[in-house]
Amino acid sequence: MHDRLNKNSMAVLKMVRASHSHPTASEVYEAVRQERPQIGLASIYRILHNLVEQNYIKELRHGDDTCRYDAHTARHDHAICTQCGALLDIPIDVALPQDLLEAAAQATGIEFSSHELRLYGRCPTCQGQAVQHKTVE
Amino acid sequence: MHDRLNKNSMAVLKMVRASHSHPTASEVYEAVRQERPQIGLASIYRILHNLVEQNYIKELRHGDDTCRYDAHTARHDHAICTQCGALLDIPIDVALPQDLLEAAAQATGIEFSSHELRLYGRCPTCQGQAVQHKTVE
DNA sequence: AGAAAAATGAGAATGATTATCATTATTAGT
DNA sequence: ACTAATAATGATAATCATTCTCATTTTTCT
Ligand SMILES: [Mn+2]
Ligand SMILES: [Mn+2]
Ligand SMILES: [Zn+2]
Ligand SMILES: [Zn+2]
């Protein structure tokens, strides 16, 4: 399943692994360009798809229209800021009761294979800013 | 928060409510056109955004690049088919332990306001089809 | 080395969504 | 009802992330 990676692919994988912020394709492009200035954006997309295919990384999508990549491949959950859209890792293992998951899967008829919990709320950065609707105009 | 809705907005809201399949903007457009043939796609997008803003409906996004709308505004969970991408409602209330949710929120520092559980697996339709990788070529 | 196969990157094409703007309804004041 | 002001509409163009195409380059294999 895991093929050997060439230099471009290695550079992309390293960048995604080094980033702890679920980078977008164009963020990966800008970073990888530092090391491999000749690389093209089409290759970034192609390589990211290959890495997903080969289970080196995962693809994430939420509110905005760009998709993000995650080198953290173990099952884990995310928190999404309702104000700025930030996508944060939940750094602990949230052990949801297996029977609840199975009951939910059964209710839809899907062949359950994995799950993700998403929490919504204001992120720490946004909490530090003026509270919505409470500022004097 | 809820303004009065005009005819176009009502037609859009009715369509989203009648559909049980999380329709896309262009699916809404095609359906609403039957009743209001002069409506433009720009109005569909504008109205859908207004309805989201006013909490009549919710916006959902997952794997593909189109966003989907849901008239079911009470908190609920979804199942996503790993083969065809179908987005299905989980028709039961999955009561996750509140302390787990709070611990997860605390771990990220977000001001917890809501959550969604996503299950991944093959949907009933896809299960009915040939099993992946087991077909003879 | 030389042929065949695979990978690359520049640039065009695609497709969903958003912005613009002239026209058409709706509202409020008379 | 009449009119001025305001808001909503829809056709069309613009945007932007992603995908496609294809000539060129790099790698693999003999
Ligand atoms: Mn993550
Ligand atoms: Mn739903
Ligand atoms: Zn935030
Ligand atoms: Zn399916």
A65 and A5 share one domain: yes
Q: Judge whether A126 is annotated as a binding position.
A: yes
b/e for B48-66, b at 16 or more Cβ within 10 A?
A: bebbbeeebbbeebbeeee
A86 and A64 share one domain: no
Taken as a whole, chain B contains a residue count of 137
Q: Tell me what pLDDT residue B54 has.
A: 94
CATH number at residue B17: 1.10.10.10
B5 and B45 share one domain: yes
Domain final position from B37, B58, B74 = B74
Test mutation, A52, A88, A93, A119, chain B, max B CBs within 10 A: A119
Q: Spell out the alpha helix ranges (H) of B54-97.
A: none
Q: Spell out the alpha helix ranges (H) of chain A.
A: 7-18, 25-35, 41-53, 98-108, 124-128
A93 and A66 share one domain: no
CB-based contact A120 B105, cutoff 8 Å: no
Q: Judge whether A67 is annotated as a binding position.
A: no
B13 and B40 share one domain: yes
Is-contact B129 B86, C-beta < 8 A? no
Taken as a whole, chain A contains a residue count of 137
Q: Give the type of residue at A17.
A: R
A90 and A130 share one domain: yes
CATH number at residue B96: 3.30.1490.190
A26 and A61 share one domain: yes
Q: How confident is the prediction along chain A (137 residues), in pLDDT tens digits per residue?
A: 677 899 999 999 999 999 999 999 999 999 999 999 999 999 999 999 999 999 999 999 987 889 999 999 999 999 999 988 899 999 999 999 999 999 999 999 999 999 999 999 999 999 988 665 444 43
Q: How confident is the prediction along chain B (137 residues), in pLDDT tens digits per residue?
A: 676 899 999 999 999 999 999 999 999 999 999 999 999 999 999 999 999 999 999 999 987 889 999 999 999 999 999 988 899 999 999 999 999 999 999 999 999 999 999 999 999 999 988 665 444 43
B15 and B61 share one domain: yes
Domain final position from A33, A52, A74 = A74
B60 and B81 share one domain: no
Cα of B76 from ligand 1 centre, angstroms? 22
Model-wide pTM > 0.95:
no
B26 and B38 share one domain: yes
Looking at the CA of A74, which ligand is closest? 1
Strand C positions closer than 7 A to protein CB: 7-12, 16-20, 26
B19 and B65 share one domain: yes
Q: Spell out the alpha helix ranges (H) of chain B.
A: 7-18, 25-35, 41-53, 98-108, 124-128
A123 to chain B: closest CA residue? B110
Q: Does A100 contact chain B (CB < 8 Å)? A: yes
B64 to chain A: closest CA residue? A61
Cβ-Cβ pairs closer than 8 A, A with B, add up to 131
Report the gap between the CA of A124 and the closest CA in chain B (Å): 6
Q: Which domain holds residue A33?
A: 1-74
Q: Is A20 helix (H, G, I), strand (E, B) or coil?
A: coil
Domain final position from A23, A56, A74 = A74
B80 and B56 share one domain: no
A 34-73 near B (Cβ less than 8 A): 61-63, 65
Q: What total number of domains does chain A contain?
A: 2
Q: Is A28 helix (H, G, I), strand (E, B) or coil?
A: helix
